[in-house]
């Protein structure tokens, strides 16, 4: 019969230490994987929001739905398009944008504000020179991620200007 001390192998302590080191390394890999998925999701939502903003801006620029006036309010559009404050949001595909093909519209809300250049600085750009026909739009799109609102802001201009 052989003595126990002469049998070759690993002790239970050595196995537990090796297993613990393996689990710590595995946990680091899992955490890295989770962070990469989170970043990818955020990037996809931002990309979809930017695509939707581009579609909306193109529609506003080309559909000839914005009206300019020489007196206040200097700019107007279809009901529900231009918001009076920058804090009110509505579904991105609410009227009059309900005919547009948007990417996953149920995930996003929008706010569109517009000002003419002379409303921004009437001294430099007086309305008597026709600067009431250049509008600066701010389109803000928001979405929820992990229970918090995130926003992207898209600025564009529209001109029906003429020189008097």
Is 4 within a domain? no
Sheet holding 134-145, edge to edge: 90-91, 108-116, 134-145, 148-159
- Do 97 and 52 meet the contact criterion of CB atoms below 8 Å apart? no
Report how far residue 164's alpha carbon sits from residue 162's, in angstroms, rounded to the nearest whole number: 6
Q: What's the domain count of the chain?
A: 1
What per-residue confidence (pLDDT) applies to 4?
60
What per-residue confidence (pLDDT) applies to 133?
79
Is 89 within a domain? yes
- Do 82 and 113 meet the contact criterion of CB atoms below 8 Å apart? yes
Give the structural domain span for 97.
11-159
Is 3 within a domain? no
Q: What is the pLDDT along the chain (164 residues), one digit of tens a residue?
A: 556 666 677 889 989 999 999 999 999 999 998 888 888 888 999 999 999 999 999 999 999 899 888 777 778 899 999 998 989 999 999 999 999 999 999 999 999 999 887 777 767 666 666 566 788 999 999 999 888 999 999 999 998 766 55
Is 120 within a domain? yes
Is 5 within a domain? no
Neighbours of 91 (CB within 10 A): 13
Is 48 within a domain? yes
Task: Compute CA distances 50 → 28, 29, 55, 60, 83, whole Å.
Answer: 33, 32, 9, 15, 19
Is 88 within a domain? yes
DSSP state of 106: G
Which pTM was predicted?
0.75
Query: Helix H segments across the chain?
Result: 12-62, 117-120
Is 26 within a domain? yes
């Amino acid at each position: 019969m052989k003595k126990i001390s002469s049998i070759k192998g690993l002790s239970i302590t050595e196995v537990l230490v090796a297993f613990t080191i393996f689990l710590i390394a595995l946990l680091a890999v899992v955490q890295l994987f989770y962070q990469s998925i989170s970043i990818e999701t955020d990037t996809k939502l931002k990309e979809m929001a930017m695509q939707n903003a581009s579609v909306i801006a193109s529609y506003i620029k080309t559909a000839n739905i914005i009206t300019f006036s020489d007196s206040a309010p200097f700019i107007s559009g279809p009901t529900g398009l231009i918001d009076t404050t920058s804090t009110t949001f509505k579904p991105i595909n609410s009227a009059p944008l309900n005919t547009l093909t948007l990417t996953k519209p149920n995930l996003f809300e929008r706010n569109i504000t517009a000002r003419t250049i002379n409303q921004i600085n009437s001294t430099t750009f007086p309305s008597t020179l026709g600067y009431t026909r250049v509008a600066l739009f701010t389109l803000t799109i928001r979405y929820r991620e992990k229970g918090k609102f995130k926003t992207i802001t898209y600025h564009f201009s529209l001109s029906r200007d003429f020189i008097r």
